[in-house]
Amino acid sequence: MLTIIDKYILKRYLATFFVMLLLFVPIGIMANLAEQVGKMIDNEVPFPEIAMYYLNFTLVIGNLLFPVFLFLSVIFFTSKLANNTEIVAILSSGVSYGRFLRPYLIGASIIAIIMFFMGMFIVPNASVGYNEFIFKYLKKGKQDRVTTNIFNQLNENDYIYVSSFDPARQIGYNFTMERFNEENTLDFKISAANIRWIDKDTVYRLTSYEKRKLVNDVEIVETKRRLDTIFDFKIDDLTPVSYIAETKNMFELNKFIATQKRKGASNINSYILVKYKRWALPIAAFILTIIAVAVSSVKRRGGMGVNLAFGIGVAFIYIFFDKVFGTLAEQSGFSPLWAVIIPNVMFGAIAFYLLQNAKR
C-alpha cells in the first residue's frame, strides 16, 4: 500500500518525466524543421504530410530517448528534494534507503510498461510513415535498400539471385533460380535477362527466358523470348528496405526474422538487434532510475547543476556504448544479443556500485 511519501515521490517522478517530454520533444521538432525546411520547400511537400511526419517523428524519437528523459527527470526532481533537505527528513524518520527507493521503482515500472507497448506496437506503425517520408523527400534519390548482388533462399529447395534490382520499376536484372531435389542435386535452373513484376496481370515477366534440366544425364533446354509466370515470392522480398524491422510489431518481427534466417539473409543481425533493443529499453528504465537516485539523493556543493552535468555525461556515455556495440553487431559477426546485454550490464554494475555507496 502506498504511503503519503510514496505518492508524493511517485507524483513528482511521473510529472517531471512527462514535463521533460513536453519541453524537449518540441525543441527536437523545431531543430529538425530548421534543418530540413529547405528540402521540404524545394520538394513542395504538402502540409498534411509534414504534419503527419512530425507526429511520427515525435513517437519515434520520443521512444528512442525515453531512457535519457527518464534519467534527467529523476536527477532533476531528486536533486530538488535533496537541496530542500526533504530526503534527509525522510531517512531520519526511520525510513530505510531501500524503502525510500520503492516509489522510484514503481514509477520506473509504469514508464517501462509504457515503453514496452510503445516500442512493440505503436512506434513500429509510426516508423513506416517516418521513414517513407525521409526517403521520399529528405533523402530523395538515395537508396533505401541493397540493390546489387541479391541472393535469397526461398525455401529448403529454391534459391534465387539477381545482379541488380530497381525498386521503382520493380525489375531485377540477370535473374537466376535454382531448385534442388531431396538428394540435394540440381533439379533445374532458370535464367533470364531480367524479371519484372506486372501488377495489372499479377504475374512475373521473364525476358530471354532459359530453363535447363537434366533427365537421365540428358540436358533439356527450353528457351523463350518472353514468359509470363508465377513465383512464390513478392518482388519486394528480393531486398527489403533497410528499415523494415523497425516497422514491424513484436509478432510480425519474430515471424520476419524467422523467414530471413531461413532465406540466409546477410543482414539478419540488424533485424535481431532491433528485436533485442526493444526488450532492453524497459530494463534500462530501472538501471538509469537507480543511478539517478543514487547520485542525486545527496546534497552537494554546487547544487543541482553538478548532478545535471553528471546526468548529461552519463546519458551521452550510455548512448555512445549503445551505438558502438550496435554498429559492431550490424557490421560484423558480433552477437546482437551481447551488443544489447553489455551496455546494460556495464551500467547495471555502475548502478549497483553507486547504490551500495550512497549515503543512508
How does DSSP assign 303-328, residue by residue?
Answer: THHHHHHHHHHHHHHHHHHHHHHHHH
How far is it, in rounded angstroms, from Cα 260 to Cα 237? 10
Q: Smallest Cα–Cα separation from 285: which of 18, 8, 67, 97?
A: 67
- Strand, coil or helix: what is 181? coil
Give the pLDDT confidence of 220-275 residue by residue, as tens digits. Answer: 899 999 999 998 888 777 777 888 899 999 999 999 998 888 777 777 888 999 99
For residue 277, which of 311, 323, 315 has the smallest C-alpha distance?
323
**SS3 state at 234:** coil
Across the chain, mean pLDDT equals: 88
The pLDDT of 7-11, averaged and rounded, is: 93
Give the pLDDT score at 355. 86
Instruction: Give the containing element (helix H, strand E) for 229.
Output: strand 218-229
The type of residue at 307 is N
The mean pLDDT of 130-149, rounded to a whole number, is 83
Q: Using CA atoms, how far apart are residues 48 and 34, in angstroms rounded to an integer?
A: 18
Mind listing the pLDDT tens digit for each residue in 307-346? 778 777 887 888 888 889 988 888 877 899 999 999 999 9
| Helix (H/G/I), strand (E/B), else coil: 115 | helix
Determine the residue type at 209: Y
- Give the pLDDT of residue 306: 80
Over the stretch 336-351, which tens digit does the pLDDT of each residue have?
Answer: 999 999 999 999 998 8
211 strand-pairing partners:
190, 222
Confidence of residue 304 (pLDDT cuts 50, 70, 90): confident
Q: Name the pLDDT band for 302 (thresholds 50, 70, 90).
A: low
